[in-house]
Every structure is written in C-alpha cells, then in structure tokens.
Amino acid sequence: MDFELTEEMKMLKDMTRKFAMAEIAPVVRESDEHEKYTPEIRKKAAQNGLVGAWIPEEYGGAGVGILGNALITEEISKIDMGISLNVVASGFGCESILNYGTEEQKKKYLPPICTGEQVCAGAYTEPNAGTDVAGYKTRAVKDGGDYVINGNKMFITNGTVCDFMVAQCITNPEEKRHNSFSLIIVPADAKGVTRSKIRGKMGIRSSDTAEIAFEDVRVPQSNLLGKEGNGFRQLMHFFDITRIMVSGQALGLSEACLEASVKYVKERTAFGAPLGTFQMTQMKLTEMAIRIEALRGLIYRAAWLIDNGKPDYTLAAMAKFYGGQTAVFCANYAVELHGGYGYIDEYPVQKMYRDAKILEIYEGTKEAEIMTIGRALQAR
C-alpha cells in the first residue's frame, strides 16, 4: 500500500496553493460582501490548467483525473469556498457530456470549458424537488426535429453566468418514473429561457446561484445526451463523481478552520497563559485534526479508485456525508476558539462558519447520503 501522492500531484497541489494565495486571497472579502462572481479568476485559473482539470487532454483538459481535481478543489477552498466553485465547478454538468455525449458533443462543449471561455450549469433541482430526483416535473416534448421544454429549475450553480446547461427533463412520461427522464443540453441564450440570480445566501456568496424558467424552449433533438429514458441513471452517476469534488471543498474549508484556530490560540492569552496551553483548547484542536485526516483518507481513496477503474461510489457517498459533518464541526469549533472575535468579520472564521453549512445540503443532503450508504450495505 502506498499513501504517497505522486510528484505530479504534489506539484499540482503546490501550484494551486500558490495560485489561490496570489489571485484569490486578495478579493475574498469584497466578493463575499458584494456577492460578486469572479470570471477573471476563472480565466486565470484556466491558463494554469485548473479549470476542467479532470477532463482528458484530448478534449482540452489537464487530464489529472478525479484525484487531481479533488486536490485543486481542496487548495482553493482553503482560501474561499465560493470562488472555488467559480473555478472547479465552471464545468458543472459536463461530466455527463464526457460520459454519455457523442464525439461531436464532447469536442464542441468540453474544450471551451477548459480554456475558461465558457461555463456550464447542471439544471437539475426544481422548486418542489431536490433530493427527490424522480419528482422533477420539467417536460421536454418532441416536435419535429426539436424538443420543446417547459418547467422550472431552482438553486442552479452558474445559472446566470453559464453559456449552456445540462437539464434533466421528462421525455417519456408513459414510462415508470426512473425511466422517464433524459439529459438534454440547452443553450443559455435560447429563446424562452429566463434566469434570475438568487441573492442573500448565507454562504458561498461569490458563487452564482439562480432560478431558471423554461417556457417553450426549443432545442434540437441532437442535444440529447445518450439514450432517451436513461437520464435518471446518468444523473445518479454524475452525483457519484461530483460528490468527491464537494468533499474536497469540505476538506479545504476544514483545514482552513484548523490553521486559523492554531494561529489564534498561540497568540491569544487568557488567565495569564496562551490559550493553546489549556487542555480544552488542545482537545478541540485535536478533534478537528483527527476528523480532517480521516476525511482526507476517504476522499483520496475514493478518487484514486475511480481514476484506476475500480470505483467505489459508496465510499464517495461516505466522503460526502463525512465531509459536510467535518466542515460544520470544524467551523463551529473555530468560532468557539476565537470567542467573541469569531463572531465578527475581522477574523475569517465567521465566514467559514457561514460557508460550511451548504456542504451538508447540496450535491445530496446528509440524509440522502445515509440512504445511499444504507442501501449499499444491505445489498452486499
């Protein structure tokens, strides 16, 4: 067994850290306060091979696989989780194009993502159906050589800044629920598409989130991904992979919480001694560190297995579940260790606290991950 990252992966991790410190750290506060999306950082990241890095080289990516992408996500999320989404999730939805698209679709849509010229969105969640994927209502009806799409999507990452989206639609309503869906590529500027930015989020405020309405939107049937009726299974496989990216966010944020806390308790004094000398302080730091290392092992192994053709998607679900819990746990302890200072924006931990909670919600709630893991355990 070898737990050592390759030299290539170490270099990727180091380069990403330096990029994040130089390009992202200076704009974190402004981006958070003003809910400011950061396309200029995405484009600079693309020049360094950090956008769509999981995409194979033949389609313009860096070809570093799921593990490499997890490392990029981890390092950028240490600096800011919202901006990390603007970089690593700018191709969100393209995983399905790579896995199920035609050669023509791959060559058309993947390279512009990797160069930072275009952005994709995964248009899945609906106002009345999030975790209940089989409850989606958006319809795509054939008319001549087109699909005509009607419906609404909610909480869509990159929703107002994307150039195209991969949308989950009902195409075969006569089939059972899980066989009724298909994934369809929809240009963001298609007639009938309305996109409204969602403001006032608690965290990840620099990431773009939107509500999208489709009203008689026409797209050619050639925009279908894979076979009609396979959309539900395709989407489940999409989440199997992207859970690792979200887990990488959790790891990066948790590490940032620990680093900020260690720095603070070494400088802060109480009762005539550094705060870090007290046993309760050391207990909190220790629990944070143990959870972080356990999470790192889950993420790296799950990613490595996918890259080596031996995927364990239950392990990926475990990483997502534990990642959200770890981030919330570490952020909570970080605020407590900072005391009153942790509650004001002079220190970064209050923002980390706000950012952490979404990790237990999006890309599969912690309850959904429990169901996924529980079913897998009983099927063995």
Q: Indicate which residues carry an active-site annotation.
A: 363
Q: How far, in Å, CA of 126 to CA of 69, rounded?
A: 28
- Please identify which residue in the block is written with the tokens 């298609």: 190
Contact in structure between 32 and 206 (CB atoms under 8 Å): yes
Compute CA 119 distance to the chain's CA centroid, rounded to the nearest angstrom: 14
165: helix, strand or coil: strand
Q: How far, in Å, CA of 250 to CA of 43, rounded?
A: 24
Three-state SS across 97-151? Answer: HHHHCCHHHHHHHHHHHHCCCCCEEEECCECCECCCHHHCCCEEEEECCEEEEEE
211: helix, strand or coil: strand
Contact in structure between 315 and 306 (CB atoms under 8 Å): no
In degrees, to the nearest 5, what angle opens at C-alpha 24 toward C-alphas 331 and 276?
Answer: 35
Q: How far, in Å, CA of 242 to CA of 368, rounded?
A: 15
Identity of the amino acid at 135? G
Say which DSSP state 179 is in. Answer: G
Q: How far, in Å, CA of 194 to CA of 213, rounded?
A: 5
Identity of the amino acid at 111? P
H helices of 213-348, where? 231-267, 279-307, 313-338
Find, among 140, 291, 107, the residue nearest to 215 by Cα: 140
Q: How far, in Å, CA of 82 to CA of 253, rounded?
A: 11
353: helix, strand or coil: helix
Find, among 240, 229, 218, the residue nearest to 99 by Cα: 240
Q: How far, in Å, CA of 255 to CA of 47, rounded?
A: 26
